[in-house]
Amino acid sequence: MYSCAQCAIHACYQQDHSKMPANCPMRQADQMQKAFAVYSQPAYQDFYIQSCIVEAEGYGEWPRLRETIEFAKKLGYTRLGMAFCYGLRKEAKIVDSLLRRHGFEVVSVICKTGGIDKSEAGIPGQYRVRPERSFEAMCNPVAQAMLLNSQHTQLNISLGLCVGHDALFAKFSDALVTTLVVKDRALANNPVGAIYCAEGYLAPKLEP
């Protein structure tokens, strides 16, 4: 079992690999070679190289939104997809406008597309966000992906999709997906705050 999160050696970050722990993933030479070979495939080579160039050029200076714009430009993309949460519709409008100002075509699909009640997807009534309502539209990440697929988007942006919904969206998206905003309703969409405060102020909120 790999446990990189608990490693104190990080041989992978050094030229000398002689101190690798016994369960270091790098001991799986065949897997390492198989993975490395993907970066030379035509479908992924430039994608990966340009992502590393953006990392270096904007390191510590560009916000994630700027990085996303520069990355798409470097790859020559002209049509971007955006799957966003209803709760971030204002933010989605701002991002859409900015991307358009940079010359991109933007295809955007909201999470509630389809207008299907949650009960039709088998979600019990008590698990509606507002149980008193007779209708509550389900989030529809699979439809978001399929609709963007039909528009032949070249890169899809995930903006504030719920936990799990984001995974389904990425699963069914034909284009590769980059995340711009991660949903965290309790922390103003800043989930790393819970990590920084996991042993302090927010400790009680991280327990059942």
Sorted by where each begins, the domain ranges of the chain are 77-208
Burial of residue 108 (CB within 10 Å: 0-12, 13-18, 19+) is buried
**Confidence at 132, pLDDT banded by 50, 70, 90:** confident
* Cα distance between residue 92 and residue 107, in whole Å: 11
The backbone torsions φ and ψ at residue 61, rounded to the nearest 5 degrees and listed phi first, read -120, -45
Domain boundaries 77-208, CATH class: alpha beta
Residues 41-56: pLDDT tens digits? 999 999 999 999 999 9
pTM of the prediction?
A: 0.95
In sequence order, the 6+-apart residues with CB closer than 8 A to the CB of 202 are 193, 194
Residues 71-108: pLDDT tens digits? 999 999 999 999 999 999 999 999 999 999 999 999 99
* Cα distance between residue 62 and residue 85, in whole Å: 24
For residue 8, give the DSSP letter.
Answer: S
Sheet holding 155-159, edge to edge: 105-110, 79-84, 155-159, 177-181
Closest to 80 measured CA to CA, from 158, 139, 143, 146 = 158
Please, what is the end-to-end C-alpha distance for the chain in angstroms?
26
Q: Supply angle C-alpha 70, 90, 127, rounded to 5.
A: 115
> Beta strand pairing status for 79-84 and 105-110?
parallel
* Cα distance between residue 101 and residue 26, in whole Å: 44
* Cα distance between residue 89 and residue 27, in whole Å: 46
Angle of helix 141-150 relative to helix 165-172, nearest 10 degrees? 30
The chain-wide mean pLDDT, for the chain, equals: 96
Q: Quick check: 131 pLDDT over 90?
A: no
